[in-house]
Structures are given as structure tokens and as C-alpha cells.
Amino acid sequence: MKATLERLLDPNAIVVFDGAMGTMLYGKGVFINQCYDALNLRAPELVEQIHREYVNAGADVLETNSFGANRLKLTQYGLESEVRELNRAAARVARRAVGEHTLVAGAVGPLGVRLEPYGPTGKEEARDFFCEQIEGLVQGGVDLFVLETFGDLDEIEQAIRAARLVAPDMPVIAQMTIGSSLRTPYGASPEDVVRALTNFGAFVVCFCCSGGPQSVLE
């Protein structure tokens, strides 16, 4: 496991992650009006099956089914009291599916709100929300964190700070989304993003999603 983690941080190594979880769940008949994060407790065998399919396909790293498992997003489903429990379950389900050399990455997505001064959520409040989710992932046994599809540098800074507070030695992969204009949704350039995420303490800096692989490649 230590060797696999070292390879993850080796800039000359190729590390294969799994693919989408939500798309796979939808393909197996779970409608989008449901809370996919809740399936870690309600239908863990289904989530585990998808994880195992990715391991069998050759994935080196599995991401937990926890992209939207923060207090603000779970409130929409009346599940805000289950933040830690759902994240703990997400990590444990993934851990049951891993192979001998497979890592489990705790997936953390944006809160779904704007931070001050553009929205009602303060930076410290946002950090507390991320800490709550990350604590559950750590309790469940993740090896690293993947902060994915963030558009706001201020928000991902608080997510990284939360990860450093909860698990100071655990690697953090920080992913920002970038559009065809080669800017984040809030106007940051790729150079701005790399400098900022490095200063915030990310181990690995990535661009993801957005308009597809061409804009990410550029």
C-alpha cells in the first residue's frame, strides 16, 4: 500500500482511477431524483458492485461514493444529521471492494453555494462543513482525498484546509473545473489555479470535467 501511494505521487508514473459512480448507478436503474450518497447505507451492495467492476477493470484508485455527502447538499433530502455516517459508510463500502494494491480516495465535492461576499456562507463555516464530511471519510478508512469539480478557489481552499486539519499527513488531490475559455467559472487562469492550489497545500493539482478533454488538454 505504501508503494502504491508513493507511485500516486510520482510525476513519472501512470495511475489509473475509476470512472463515474453516478452514471453507473443511473445505468443500473437508480433514478436521479434520489440521493446517490444515501445508497452507501440504503443499498451498499450496489455501490460495492460498481467499485468491484472498476477494480476488475484495472483501477489503481477507487473514489468513494460521497461527492455530494456534505451537510448542505444532504439537507435537500432531510439527511443532514447523517453526514458522518454516510461518509463513513462510503469509505467502508469502497474498502471492501479494493484489491491488495488499490487505494481508496475520499471524494469531496463543492457545497453547492457561493461563499461570502457573494453568498451567505462564510469561509470558516464552509471549512466546518468540509471537516464534518472529511472526518467521516477518515473514520471509514480512506487513504487520500480527491476534492473534485470545484470552480471557486476560495471554496477549494477551505476544503484543503479542512483536510489538513483532520488528517495532516494524508495526500490531497485538488481538481478545478475549467471551461473552453481556459478559465474557471469565476475567471481564474490555469496558472492562477496551479499557484493557488500549491500554496494551499495540495499534493496533486488537476483540471477536470468542464467542456471535455480538449479544453483540459489545452
Domain boundaries, the chain: 2-166
Mean per-residue pLDDT over the chain, rounded: 94
Return left, alpha or beta for 2; rule: phi > 0 is left, psi -120 to 50 is alpha, else beta.
Answer: alpha
Cα(133)–Cα(80) distance, integer angstroms: 11
Domain 2-166 has CATH 3.40.720.10: no
Q: Is 44 helix (H, G, I), strand (E, B) or coil?
A: helix
Enclosing H/E stretch for 164: helix 153-166
> Taking the model in full, what pTM does it have?
0.94
CA distance 36 to 53: 18
Measured CA distances, 32 to 11, 18, 63, 72, 90 (Å): 37, 21, 20, 18, 18
Q: Say whether pLDDT at 26 is over 90.
A: yes
Measured CA to CA, the distance from residue 170 to residue 131 in angstroms comes to: 14
Percent with pLDDT over 90 in the chain: 81
d(CA 101, CA 5): 9
**pLDDT value, residue 1:** 61
Whether pLDDT at 211 is above 80: no
pLDDT digits (tens, 9 = 90+) for 98-120: 977 899 999 999 999 999 988 88
Residue 124, SS3 per DSSP: helix
